[in-house]
Amino acid sequence: MHRITRLIGLAGAIAGLVASLTVGTVAAAGSPSVGHVYVNNNTTGRNTIAGFDRHADGSLTPIAGSPFDAGGAGTGAPFGSAGGLQRTPDGRYLLATDPGSNEISVLRIKPHGGLQLADVQSSNGIAPVSIAVHGSLVYVANGGAGGSNYTGFRLNAGGHLRSIPGSTYGLPDSAMPGHVLISPDGHRLVGTRVGPSAGPSYLDGFRIDPDGRLTAAAGSPFAAQRIGPFGSGFSPTNDNQLFVSNAHDGANAGSVSVYDVAADGSLTAITGSPFADNQTAPCWVAISPDGNALFAVNTAVPSISRYSVASNGSLTLVAPAVPFASPTGLRPFDAAVSPDGGFLYVVDAGAAKVSAFAVDGTALTELAGSPFDIAGGGAPFGIVVD
């Protein structure tokens, strides 16, 4: 009797697998891949990166072999971070934080989107939270007590990281960095210090010297406009405009700040900033490739706020915020807009899924089939869309 039960179960599993493979094959054949979506799975023991083929209709199907070995270790628990997975500008490599083992992984992107581990190096700190990449220059924000810092590396053509001597800039244990970014022109670095729940919170601004080391701007760190500056993004059309979400001001009191970033890395809030979000805990932002729309992911609701962006960076909130179609269990985290501007993807740490929305200006429509399951997902964070 037990043998029959096992055989029935095995038959059901095989049938399910065949059906799944058939659906994936049909989707891939009927709608060729136009790009990929990658997610840092943040799995314990051995971290992995999940990969998806992205189709013209915005839908996702797992890449063969996904999830891919990242070498280091994740935490297995939701991990507040923006930019925990990045792609090099030449499209050859992904760089991932491994916060459970204090390491950084480099994965080679193969012709059909699969990944191959190329290198794993110490992050030169504790609990790496975020990575910034510009050309061969790589900076990592480490957020763990006793090893919180920004530290620099060079990535060579073979996918190997080497530390930049003298590049480490120490942070206090109370800093709690959330995001590190390099300006599009490669000359400035900005980091967000989320800080304690009641504040204070700060932003760091630096000039990047020719040798890759940092020179802090006069007055850095700069007091944040609100508590909990977290996710950020430079404008795709203006190297000097920086957008930062403010997550910790309480219920229905979220906002987005806009800063002008000077040549030395100093930050000045523009007139009218911060701009109200009227939601709770906007933790991540994503900007359309044309720079005309900004989306703020409100993790605690969950919902997505929408803004139109003026040429001077000022924001106009578009009401209402867009809810997630299946919010139960979700903890929406990092987000990215596809290079063609047609779709917004959000990684969900609570349920190990990716939510997908069609984008039309500031309008968002969640896709049928969304959210998509993340194979091997632990408590995923960090997302790359190409």
Give the pLDDT of residue 176: 96
Residue 31's pLDDT is 75
In words, the CATH class of domain 35-385 is mainly beta
When computed from its CA atoms, the radius of gyration of the chain, rounded to whole angstroms, is 20
Q: Which helix (H) or strand (E) holds 26?
A: helix 2-30
pLDDT at position 143 is 96
For residues 115 and 384, give the distance between their C-alpha atoms in angstroms, rounded to a whole number.
13
Output the CA angle 161-289-277, nearest 5 degrees: 100
User: Which amino acid is located at 232 in the chain?
Assistant: S
Q: Phi/psi at 35 (nearest 5 deg)?
A: 170, -165
| Closest among 341, 368, 342 to 355, alpha carbons compared | 368
Q: What is the pLDDT of residue 333?
A: 94
- Residue 290: φ, ψ to 5°: -85, -5
Question: How confident is the model at residue 329, as a pLDDT?
Answer: 85
- β-partners of residue 294 are 287, 307
Burial of 260 per CB tally in 10 Å (0-12, 13-18, 19+) = middle
* Nearest alpha carbon to residue 344 among 317, 373, 320, 371: 371
Dig out the tokens for 234 from the structure. Answer: 């430079």
Tell me the C-alpha distance between 286 and 151, whole Å: 25
Instruction: Say how many residues make up the chain.
Output: 386
Q: What is the number of other CB atoms lying within 10 angstroms of the CB of residue 289? A: 14
Provide long-range contacts, Cβ within 8 A and 24+ apart, for 306-311. 306/362, 306/363, 306/364, 307/256, 307/275, 307/362, 308/361, 308/362, 309/235
Compute mean pLDDT per 10 residues along the chain, 386 residues long, and list them: 33 37 40 94 96 98 98 91 95 97 98 97 98 98 96 98 98 96 98 95 98 98 97 97 97 98 98 97 97 97 97 97 92 96 96 96 97 93 96
Distance CA 302, CA 324 (A): 7
Tokens of 57: 């209709």
Model-level pTM?
0.91
Please give the structure tokens belonging to residue 316: 């106009």
Q: How far apart are CA 32 and CA 131, in angstroms?
A: 31
Q: Which are the contacts of 241, defined by CB distance < 8 A and separation ≥ 6?
A: 234, 235, 258, 259, 260, 261, 313
- Contact between 379 and 79 (Cβ < 8 Å): yes
Helices vs. strands in the chain: H and E counts, helices first: 1, 33
